[in-house]
Amino acid sequence: MNITIVGSGYVGLVTGACLAELNHSVTCVDNDARKLEQLKRGEIPFFEPGLDDLVTRNVANGRLQFCSRISLAMPRSEVVFIAVGTPADSSGDADLSYVYGVAQEIGQSMSRPLLVVNKSTVPVGTAEAVRYIIESELATRQVEIRFDVASNPEFLKEGNAIQDFMHPDRVVIGAGCQTSQDILKKVYAPLGENLHTLHTVDIRDAEMIKYAANTMLATKISLMNEIAVMCDELDVDVEMVKQGIATDSRIGPSFINPGCGYGGSCFPKDVRAMRAMARESGVSGKIFEAVHARNLEQQHVLADRIVNFYGEELAHKTIAVWGLSFKPGTDDIREAPAITIINRLLDAGATLRVYDPKAIDNARAAIDSKQVFFCHSAAEAVKEADALLVTTEWEEFKAPDIGALGTSLADQVIFDGRNLFDPTRLESLGIAYCGIGRRNRLFTLVSGRTNGAWSSSALTTEMAQGRPIDNIPVLEEYRPRANHRF
């Protein structure tokens, strides 16, 4: 089929390249001239594993091309996917101006029967608005051309997008007539046995499914993070709790890893949009409010603990930071917890040595501070650092040489925002550890002796005196520790 994708950002480019791989003839339209020149040279403006090879191969075989105007692609298009951004505005609503602008251009330039498909994440009712805009433009031109509008939400995970597209756990088709359903089934037919489930639903149902899916996943993350905060207060190891609930088939192991918050282009924006839709439809939306608030708070948990731990000394400390992207497998730093934490530490006067396998360039453009040094490796980042902060769970961070790491860090302290390390092993090597919901026993007890910050030098001295970690006295009875926790 002849398919046009309007928008060559993350969703548009992945969709276009994968559809070309399925033997469709695909044209990606984008109004960014610089990006188009990059793409024509086979240069991908963002990192996604395998995408560069996919684009290069399909450009070479003629199944994938790029152009700057929708009108240039219209004469041969059978299906047009709208895959432009829908960023949140100041109130949290999805900004649909790009979607509506594309609909207007389609109406102004279409010359043959057409199926218009919303691939962008849009609020319920957007397809009806797109239909109205196209009809209005056709009326202005005084022409009658058959067209329909459908919804086909994407479920691509950054870092695994090609696999998700080529082996989807489901494809959702929201269409109001059988003809449109059949056309979209034909688009995805080359997936064959790789297409496990195809759901045909009403258009409004499809629009809600996308938001419901992302909000559900964000809720699981936020709930587990709130449980982790409670575990710190109750002297419970959240990793043991996680293992105990992950085998429950009703819960499962996915999206229950406690950490320093979620980020990226989808979850934060979609939770805010869901909150706005609830408000507009007269629903309280308290759960959406709570998920959003928990995530904002979670991004400050480790920053608060570092600030409380060092106190005024932080202005004289150098912190190594491993991870800048919001998740592994991508260079995307949009709403990344690492950036929030880094800004907090900079405000406190700390010097930072940061490293990420893919996101260094994006972070360099986003962080303007002479107190930040961008490093080429994890080892370089910890060199001459006092403590280590881990904010992204890249594979290369999961099994470092702990002995060498402890030697490199002057204060022998690790703040683990993704619970990558084993606290018992670190403590046996004399390395102080603070995770998310990992009891943080050492820090809780020693900081309790000093009404707040415990200096790193004093902590190191205590450990150097040979006091085994296991011999630190436990509390005789539980007492709330809000005023003297890590």
Using 50, 70 and 90 to split pLDDT, how confident is the model at 276? very high
307 close to 347: Cβ distance less than 8 angstroms: no
pLDDT in tens, 370-408: 999 999 999 999 999 999 999 999 999 999 988 888 889
Does the pLDDT value for residue 194 go beyond 90?
Answer: no
> CA of 19: how far to CAs of 107, 288, 363, in Å?
24, 34, 31
Does the pLDDT value for residue 36 go beyond 80?
Answer: yes
Average of per-residue pLDDT values in the chain: 90
Same domain, yes or no: 156 and 272? no
Q: Tell me how crowded residue 484 is: count the other CB atoms within 10 A of its CB.
A: 18
Buried b (16+ CB within 10 A) or exposed e, 65-89: bbeeebeebbeebbbbbbbbbbebe
Burial label, 355 (beta-carbon count in 10 A; 0-12, 13-18, 19+): buried
CA nearest neighbour of 359 among 339, 381, 382: 339
332 close to 298: Cβ distance less than 8 angstroms: no
Q: Does any domain span residue 60?
A: yes
d(CA 25, CA 37): 20
Burial label, 52 (beta-carbon count in 10 A; 0-12, 13-18, 19+): middle
The residue among 42 and 344 whose pLDDT is bigger is: 344
274 close to 288: Cβ distance less than 8 angstroms: yes
pLDDT of residue 443: 54
Q: In what helix (H) or strand (E) does residue 37 lie, and over which residues does it extend?
A: helix 33-40
Same domain, yes or no: 183 and 226? no
Does the pLDDT value for residue 65 go beyond 70?
Answer: yes
Same domain, yes or no: 316 and 186? no
> CA of 83: how far to CAs of 15, 89, 396, in Å?
9, 18, 33
Length of the chain: 486
Domain boundary among 136, 166, 201: 201
Domain boundary among 148, 167, 201: 201
Can you name the residues that pair with 432 across neighbouring β-strands? 413
pLDDT in tens, 103-133: 999 999 999 999 999 999 999 999 999 999 9
Q: Does any domain span residue 9?
A: yes
245 close to 228: Cβ distance less than 8 angstroms: no
Find tokens 């608005």 and name the residue.
129
Q: Does any domain span residue 206?
A: no
14 close to 5: Cβ distance less than 8 angstroms: no
pLDDT of residue 486: 45
Question: Which 3 state secondary structure label does DSSP give 35?
Answer: helix
Q: Print the domain residue range for 101.
A: 2-201
d(CA 61, CA 152): 27
Same domain, yes or no: 187 and 265? no
Q: Does any domain span residue 209?
A: no
Same domain, yes or no: 179 and 54? yes
Same domain, yes or no: 154 and 259? no
Same domain, yes or no: 118 and 15? yes
pLDDT of residue 454: 40
pLDDT of residue 99: 97
Mean pLDDT over 316-334 rounds to 97
Does the pLDDT value for residue 485 go beyond 50?
Answer: no
203 close to 149: Cβ distance less than 8 angstroms: yes
pLDDT of residue 89: 87
The phi and psi torsions of 143 (rounded to 5 degrees) equal -130, 155
Same domain, yes or no: 425 and 461? yes
Q: Does any domain span residue 214?
A: no
Q: Does any domain span residue 144?
A: yes
CATH number of the structural domain spanning residue 456: 3.40.50.720
Q: Does any domain span residue 215?
A: no
Question: Which 3 state secondary structure label does DSSP give 275?
Answer: helix
Same domain, yes or no: 442 and 395? yes
pLDDT in tens, 431-462: 999 999 998 754 544 443 333 344 444 444 44
Which of these is catalytic: 28, 231, 260, 266?
266
Same domain, yes or no: 142 and 255? no
The residue among 324 and 478 whose pLDDT is bigger is: 324
Find tokens 């498909």 and name the residue.
117
Does the pLDDT value for residue 340 go beyond 70?
Answer: yes
**266 is annotated as an active-site residue:** yes
Question: Which 3 state secondary structure label does DSSP give 366?
Answer: helix
Find tokens 């298009």 and name the residue.
77
Using 50, 70 and 90 to split pLDDT, how confident is the model at 464? very low
d(CA 454, CA 459): 7
pLDDT of residue 393: 97
Q: Tell me how crowded residue 111 is: count the other CB atoms within 10 A of its CB.
A: 12
238 close to 228: Cβ distance less than 8 angstroms: yes
Number of domains into which the chain is organized: 2
Burial label, 190 (beta-carbon count in 10 A; 0-12, 13-18, 19+): middle
Same domain, yes or no: 408 and 296? yes
Q: In what helix (H) or strand (E) does residue 320 lie, and over which residues does it extend?
A: strand 318-322
DSSP state of 201: E
Burial label, 266 (beta-carbon count in 10 A; 0-12, 13-18, 19+): buried
Q: Does any domain span residue 210?
A: no
Same domain, yes or no: 234 and 141? no
